[in-house]
Amino acid sequence: FVHVASIVATLLSKLIRSFQGIYDNESRTGEMLAAACAVGVAATFYAPIGGVLFSVEVTTVFFAVRNYWRGFFAACCSATVWRLYGVWFKKEAAITALFKTNFRSDFPFDPQELFIFAFIGVICGFGGAGYVKFHRKIVQFIRSQKKMNSFLQKNRFIYPGVITFLLTTISFPPFFGQYLASTLSTHDTLEDLFSNITWGLESNDSTRLKMVKHWSTDHTSIYMNLIIYILMTVWMSLLASTIPVPSGMFIPVFKIGAAFGRLTGEIMALAFPYGIPFEGFTTPIVPGGYAVVGAAAFTGAVTHTISTSVIVFELTGQMTHMIPVLVAVLISNAICQTLDLSIYDSIIQIKRLPFLPPILSTSSLAHNVFVEDFMVRDVIFIWRNCTYRDIKKVLESHRSLQQFPLVDNGINMILLGSIQREELLRLAQQRLSRERRLQEVRRRYSIQDAISSTSIPDRLTSTTATTSATTTASTSLNSSPKETTRKMSRFEVIPVQQSSESLKNPSPKPVTKMPKSILKQTVLFTYSPNNTIGGIQDSRLRNAFENIFLKSLKLQDANPEKAAKQNPTPPVTLHRRVQLVRLFDLI
C-alpha cells in the first residue's frame, strides 16, 4: 500500500505541470513521498492519525511542521473515500473501524496481566531483531550465487515465477495450507485473531466452532497451528520480499505479531480458565487483547516506530488496551533498536543507498572527534563570478569530483549551495554551443556597425573638403584666375595626365608630354602629406604658385601648328587624384 501510494505520488509529480516543481526539488519530493506513505497506511487500516505519525517516523529524519496538516488532510481524504466506497458498494451499515473489537470497557484486563504484556514486548523485541537479520541473510545468500544471478539477469521472469509457484503450492489448502488457515483472507484472518472469543474453551458457540475449524485440523490443535502459522509466515514473507515485485512487509509482520499474541492469550486462558484472581475478583482472560498487543509490539519492533500503537487503536476502534499496548511497544522498540536496524534501514543498507548510521552513545570516544580532524581543507570550489575558462579548468583537472560547492568569492568563502558536474557541463554546452557563438559574433558586429555609424559625420566633413578641392580645380579651367582663389586644404592635390584610352585599359602606359608653353616647363607641385602650412606668408606663396600653374595651362604655344604636326597627340584630359590624410595624422 505504501509502495503503490508512492508510485502514484511520483507519477503525479511528473505528469501534472503544477506538480513538476515538486519533482525537481529533492526536499519537496521527500515531503510528497511522506504524504503518500500516510495516505497508504490511512487507506489500508482506516487510520489517518496513525498513518501520518508512521510516515513521519519512517520516511523523514527532519520533518517540516508546515507539512503536518497537509499529510493529515491527504490521509483523512483517502481514509474517508475508501470507507465510503465500502458503504456504497459493499453494503456496510456505516463507517466504522476496520477490525472492530468488543472488549469489556469496564474491566478489560487484570493489572497482573501487565507482566505478561511486558513479556510479549520482550519476545517481540528479540523476534523483530531476528526477523530483520534473517531477511539480510537471505538476501546476502541469494546475491552470493554468482552463476544463478547471471542466469536470472538474462531471464528476469524466472525467479519471480519460481518463488510464486513455490509459495502458492505450500499454502494450497489441501496441502500444507490446512495448517495456515489459507482459506481465510487477510481481513478474515485478523478478525479471527482479534476476536474476544476464546478458542480453547469448550462451548457449542457456532462462531467459536467456525473459527476453531479454520485454525485446527483432525490431528493438530489450535496451538500447534498457530505456531506453524508464525514460523511459516516468517520465512515465506521474507522470501517473497526478495522478488522484484513489491509484496509488502507491514501486513505480514502485523499478522505474525497478532498470531503470537493470540497464542500467548490462548495459553493464558488454558492456564487460568476462570481468570487471574485479584483481591477477591476474577476477570476472564481475553486472548483477543493479547493479539492486539502482540501485533502492535512486533510491528513496532520491526519498523522501529511507536505509531503502530495509534494505528492499532484506530484499527480496532477501542482504547481499552492502551496501557498494555504502549508498554509492549516501548519495550520491543528498545530491545530491537539496541540489537539491529529497522527493516527499512536494513533494505537501504542492502541496496547501498545513502544511509545515516545511528547516533552513538554518549560514552563513545567518537564524540571527542571533531570535524576539523578529518575534514578536507583544500576544497575545490567555484565562485559566483568565475569565467568559463575557470570552470573548464576545474572540470578538467578534477574529473573524479561529481559535485562542486558554490561560494560567493574566494575571500569570504560564503557557501551559496552546490552544483552537480553534469549540470555544469550542460550549462557550458548550452552557453557555448555553436549557435550561441554565432549569435555572439552577430552581436559584436552589430556593435561595431553602430560605432562606425557614429563616426560617419567626421568622415563626411573630410570627404566634403576633398570634393570641394576637386570641383574647384576642374572649374578653374574655364573660369578666370580670380575665381580660383580657395581655402587651403590639408590634402595633397596632384595633377594626373591620363588619356581616354587609359580609362578603358587600366594597364600602365607611358604618359605623353604636355606641349610646351611660353614658360619653360609645367611644374608639378608635390607636397608631402605630412607637411602643413601654418603661416600667412606660406599660404600666399602657395596661392601664387597655384595661380602660375593654372595660367600655364591656358597659355597657347608660340607655334601651335608646328607643335601639332610634330606631336599629333589626342587631347589630354586632366584628372585630379586626391590622396586622403592617413588615419593616424588625424588623431
**Percent with pLDDT over 70 in the chain:** 72
Residue 23 pLDDT > 60, yes or no? no
* Predicted local distance difference test score (pLDDT) of residue 358: 63
* Predicted local distance difference test score (pLDDT) of residue 527: 44
Region 256-268: mean pLDDT is 92
pTM of the model: 0.62
* Predicted local distance difference test score (pLDDT) of residue 523: 43
User: Exposed/middle/buried for 290, CB within 10 Å: 0-12, 13-18, 19+?
Assistant: buried
User: Exposed/middle/buried for 198, CB within 10 Å: 0-12, 13-18, 19+?
Assistant: buried
- Long-range interactions of 465-468: CB distance < 8 A, separation 24+: 465/489, 465/490, 465/491, 466/491, 466/578, 466/580
Rounded CA separation 68/195 (Å): 34
Rounded CA separation 208/197 (Å): 7
* Predicted local distance difference test score (pLDDT) of residue 479: 44
Residue 583 pLDDT > 50, yes or no? no
Residue 247 pLDDT > 80, yes or no? no
Determine contact, residues 340/133, Cβ cutoff 8 Å. Answer: yes
* Predicted local distance difference test score (pLDDT) of residue 228: 92
Of residues 8 and 452, more confidently modeled: 8
Of residues 418 and 521, more confidently modeled: 418
| pLDDT-wise least confident of 190-204, 254-268, 432-446, 521-535 | 521-535
DSSP secondary structure code for residue 182 in this structure: T
**Percent with pLDDT over 90 in the chain:** 15
Residue 182 pLDDT > 70, yes or no? yes
DSSP secondary structure code for residue 267 in this structure: H
Region 1-14: mean pLDDT is 78
Of residues 493 and 327, more confidently modeled: 327
- Long-range interactions of 172-177: CB distance < 8 A, separation 24+: 176/232
Annotated domain spans of the chain: 2-89, 111-149+184-350, 379-448, 458-586
Region 323-335: mean pLDDT is 93
**Could you tell me where the beta strands, DSSP code E, fall in 156-207?**
none
Region 394-405: mean pLDDT is 88
379-448, which class in CATH? alpha beta
Region 253-257: mean pLDDT is 93
* Predicted local distance difference test score (pLDDT) of residue 482: 41
The alpha carbon dihedral of 172, 173, 174, 177 has a sign of positive
* Predicted local distance difference test score (pLDDT) of residue 480: 43
Residue 330 pLDDT > 90, yes or no? yes
Cell numbers at residue 445, please? Answer: 558586429
| pLDDT-wise least confident of 24-28, 505-509, 544-548 | 505-509
DSSP secondary structure code for residue 217 in this structure: -
DSSP bridge partners of 383? 407
Give the type of residue at 478: N
Write the CA distances from 418 to 189, 231, 382, 414, integer angstroms.
Answer: 52, 50, 9, 12
* Predicted local distance difference test score (pLDDT) of residue 227: 93
Region 410-429: mean pLDDT is 85
**111-149+184-350 has which CATH code?**
1.10.3080.10
Residue 576 pLDDT > 50, yes or no? no
* Predicted local distance difference test score (pLDDT) of residue 568: 54
Largest CA distance in the chain: 169
Of residues 306 and 474, more confidently modeled: 306
Residue 231 pLDDT > 60, yes or no? yes
Of residues 95 and 308, more confidently modeled: 308
Residue 502 pLDDT > 70, yes or no? no
* Predicted local distance difference test score (pLDDT) of residue 134: 93
**Mean pLDDT for the chain overall:** 76
Region 23-33: mean pLDDT is 70
Phi, psi of 492 (to 5 degrees): -85, 125
Of residues 126 and 473, more confidently modeled: 126
* Predicted local distance difference test score (pLDDT) of residue 537: 52
Region 352-380: mean pLDDT is 75
Rounded CA separation 243/101 (Å): 35
Write the CA distances from 180 to 174, 186, 225, 232, 261, integer angstroms.
Answer: 11, 12, 7, 8, 16
Determine contact, residues 72/48, Cβ cutoff 8 Å. Answer: yes
> Which stretches within 60-113 are classed as H helix?
68-89
Rounded to the nearest 10 degrees, what angle do helices 222-240 and 158-170 cross at?
A: 180
DSSP secondary structure code for residue 421 in this structure: H
Determine contact, residues 120/293, Cβ cutoff 8 Å. Answer: yes
Region 252-266: mean pLDDT is 93
Q: Which of 117-126, 264-273, 371-380, 505-514 has the highest mean pLDDT?
A: 117-126
Determine contact, residues 302/343, Cβ cutoff 8 Å. Answer: yes
* Predicted local distance difference test score (pLDDT) of residue 230: 93
* Predicted local distance difference test score (pLDDT) of residue 345: 86
Determine contact, residues 253/299, Cβ cutoff 8 Å. Answer: yes
- pLDDT tier for residue 19 given thresholds of 50, 70 and 90: low
* Predicted local distance difference test score (pLDDT) of residue 233: 92
* Predicted local distance difference test score (pLDDT) of residue 4: 82
- pLDDT tier for residue 360 given thresholds of 50, 70 and 90: low
- pLDDT tier for residue 587 given thresholds of 50, 70 and 90: very low
Of residues 547 and 112, more confidently modeled: 112
Determine contact, residues 346/139, Cβ cutoff 8 Å. Answer: no
